[in-house]
């Protein structure tokens, strides 16, 4: 291993030491099982690929990979939101929850999420990601079923904490997986597609809770929600364990030629694919704002976004019910709410892919419907049932901004360890926001929830500032690197150099350009 010990700044661009891996050995007997892209390509013939052949391969990847990710994410959202469905059917009364105890249950879930974030990231990098996620889903399905046996606040608090611990693995892993398989142009829409399964999960969860509400059995109706959803998760975990791939180099549904093409088509990302080595110099680069402030900006953007989400996701069932709908009508309304979530997230991702350099503008624009929806809740009288209902359907639009924000580390952070750390920073912000969010909502304020809505509006304003700062930073870095190319201080990014899979960070690789 060679290294450069000194650091320097060239025309305002921070240049970080490069640690290049050794080239592949002549002995490549185990290459079919390797997850090193350079070694894999060295052992296989690289063809000439047309736009049509790349589109055909993309369709095949979408056909096999996206359904797996979408179903898993849908199940995760259903499980995570089970408490909100249970609230409609009396969980607060049956467990004797008083004061802010109901809000604390959501916070405890995200405290568990926060505690496990980096250990899960480390484990997902070390092991086969499909098998790892399959085991994780099996465990959290069992934990979810345990919720049906809880009798008091302490019982359900412990269960929610451990549910958060194990559910924390899925979304960060999917950000990394999307970066392995898709070009940077394709990623925003794909992230938005699987993230929009929040909406489908909401609709399915609403149907499940509606069905459970009709059961006249020996158990409280809300307990059946946790039992059914837990069984569903455990069954699906076997499929994830058996089918979900580790990387493009190790996948059953592509032949060798297609695997090579899958690797080649994302060469231009310059973000690498997978590296099992945990590199502490990349950790330092991700965490030091003097080198790269983007991770810290993403952290705070996610905090503010999830302060909104923590409150809305926890109280949406009670908000809908406060408008004047019955318990069962409130449960069924979740179908319309879920459809709104799906449309709002997917449309945000599509526009970010369709229009060049528009990602940060989309993140800002998709906050506006949420702001309008919350203002309607504050200003309209309780007698205006239709207006308040429309306002509720507009409220989840902010999640579209989050989907794009969460995808940024996969698109604008190179170096596998650094990317994992930045994804972790974003999800720590995600957890912190969700811990704080429900506490801004006061149960006694129903139906207005003034403190909750005003907090959310303030958080939206803060996000606008952060998204603008992030865009300015990335644009400035691109401009400086282009100037360095013109003056001969940096290599031309249009000329291939074979270093696309060297696991260099975006600061080490001066050919790297940030997406806007």
Output 254-258 pairs: Cβ under 8 A, ≥24 positions apart. Answer: 254/60, 256/32, 256/44, 257/44, 257/47, 258/57, 258/60
- Report the residue count for the chain: 516
Tell me what pLDDT residue 489 has: 86
How far is the C-alpha of 399 from the C-alpha of 493, rounded, in Å? 34
Q: How far is the C-alpha of 458 from the C-alpha of 134, rounded, in Å? A: 39
Question: Cα angle vertex 190, ends 63, 76, to 5°?
Answer: 85
* CA neighbor of 111 nearest in space, from 509, 434, 388: 434
pLDDT at 511: 86
Please state, in angstroms and rounded to a whole number, the distance separating the CA atoms of residues 309 and 433: 8
Structure-token match 């142009």, residue found: 185
Total Cβ atoms within 10 A of residue 316 = 21
Q: Is the peptide bond before 380 cis (omega within 30 degrees of 0)?
A: no
Indicate if the alpha-carbon torsion angle 451, 457, 458, 460 is positive or negative. Answer: positive
Burial class (CB in 10 A: 0-12, 13-18, 19+), 42: middle
**516 residues of the chain, pLDDT tens digit each:** 333 333 444 455 555 544 443 333 333 333 344 456 666 666 666 667 788 888 899 999 999 999 999 999 999 988 988 887 787 778 888 888 887 788 788 778 888 888 887 787 777 767 778 888 999 999 999 999 999 999 999 999 999 999 999 988 888 888 888 888 898 888 889 988 998 888 888 788 878 777 776 777 788 888 888 999 999 999 999 999 999 988 888 888 888 888 888 888 887 777 666 666 778 889 899 999 999 999 999 999 999 999 998 788 777 777 777 777 776 777 677 788 888 888 988 899 899 888 989 999 999 999 999 999 999 988 888 788 888 888 888 998 999 999 899 888 888 988 888 988 898 899 889 888 888 887 787 766 666 778 888 999 999 999 999 999 999 999 999 999 999 998 888 888 777 766 667 778 888 888 888 988
Query: What's the distance, CA 430 to chain centroid?
Result: 9
Rg (CA), the chain: 23
Which residues 6+ apart lie within 8 Å of 294 measured at CB? 408, 412, 413, 422, 470, 473, 474
Give 330's Cβ-side CA count (13 Å radius): 20
Report angle CA 199, 201, 205 to the nearest 5 degrees.
Answer: 120
Q: What is the pLDDT of residue 157?
A: 93
Question: What pLDDT score does 476 carry?
Answer: 95
What is residue 220's DSSP assignment?
Answer: -
The pTM score is 0.77
CB within 8 A of 76, min separation 6: which ones?
A: 167, 170, 171, 201
Q: Say what the pLDDT of residue 397 is.
A: 92
């Amino acid at each position: 291993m060679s290294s450069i010990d000194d650091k320097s700044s060239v025309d305002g661009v921070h240049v970080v030491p490069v640690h290049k891996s050794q080239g592949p050995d002549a002995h490549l007997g185990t290459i079919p099982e390797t997850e090193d892209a350079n070694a894999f390509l060295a052992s296989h013939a690289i063809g000439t690929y047309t736009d049509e052949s790349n589109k055909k391969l993309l369709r095949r990847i979408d056909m096999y990979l996206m359904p797996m990710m979408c179903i898993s994410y849908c199940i995760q959202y259903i499980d995570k939101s089970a408490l909100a469905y249970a609230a409609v059917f009396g969980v607060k009364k049956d467990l004797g929850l008083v004061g802010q105890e109901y809000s604390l249950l959501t916070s405890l879930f995200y405290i568990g999420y926060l505690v496990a974030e980096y250990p899960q990231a480390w484990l997902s990098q070390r092991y086969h990601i499909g098998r790892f996620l399959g085991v994780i889903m099996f465990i959290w399905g069992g934990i979810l079923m345990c919720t049906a046996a809880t009798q008091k606040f302490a019982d359900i608090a412990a269960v929610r904490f451990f549910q958060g611990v194990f559910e924390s693995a899925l979304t960060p892993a999917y950000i990394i997986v999307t970066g392995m398989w898709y070009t940077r142009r394709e990623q925003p829409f794909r992230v938005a597609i699987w993230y929009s399964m929040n909406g489908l999960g909401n609709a399915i969860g609403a149907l499940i809770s509606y069905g459970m509400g009709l059961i006249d059995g020996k158990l409280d109706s809300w307990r059946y929600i946790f039992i059914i959803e837990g069984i569903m998760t455990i069954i699906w975990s076997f499929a994830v364990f058996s089918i979900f791939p580790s990387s493009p180099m190790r996948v059953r549904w592509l032949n060798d030629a297609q695997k090579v093409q899958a690797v080649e088509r994302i060469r231009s990302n310059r973000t690498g694919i997978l590296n099992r080595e945990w590199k502490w110099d990349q950790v330092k680069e991700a965490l030091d704002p003097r080198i790269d402030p983007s991770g810290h900006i993403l952290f705070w953007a996610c905090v503010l976004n999830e302060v909104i989400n923590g409150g809305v996701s926890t109280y949406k069932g009670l908000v809908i019910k406060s408008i004047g709908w019955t318990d069962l009508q409130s449960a069924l309304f979740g179908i319309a709410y879920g459809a709104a979530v799906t449309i709002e997230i997917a449309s945000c991702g599509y526009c970010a892919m369709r229009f060049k350099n528009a990602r940060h503008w989309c993140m800002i624009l998709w906050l506006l419907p949420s702001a309008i929806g919350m203002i309607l809740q504050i200003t309209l009288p309780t007698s205006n049932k239709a207006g308040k209902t429309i306002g509720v359907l507009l409220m989840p639009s902010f999640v579209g901004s989050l989907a794009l924000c969460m995808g940024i580390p996969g698109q604008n952070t190179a170096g596998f360890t650094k990317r994992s750390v930045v994804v972790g920073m974003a999800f720590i912000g995600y957890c912190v926001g969700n811990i704080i969010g429900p506490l801004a909502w006061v149960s006694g304020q129903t139906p207005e929830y003034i403190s909750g809505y005003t907090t959310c509006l303030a958080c939206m304003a803060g996000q606008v500032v952060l998204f603008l700062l992030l865009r300015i930073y990335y644009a400035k870095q691109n401009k400086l690197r282009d100037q360095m190319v013109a003056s001969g201080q940096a290599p031309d990014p249009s000329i291939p150099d074979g270093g696309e899979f060297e696991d260099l960070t975006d600061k080490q690789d001066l050919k790297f350009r940030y997406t806007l």
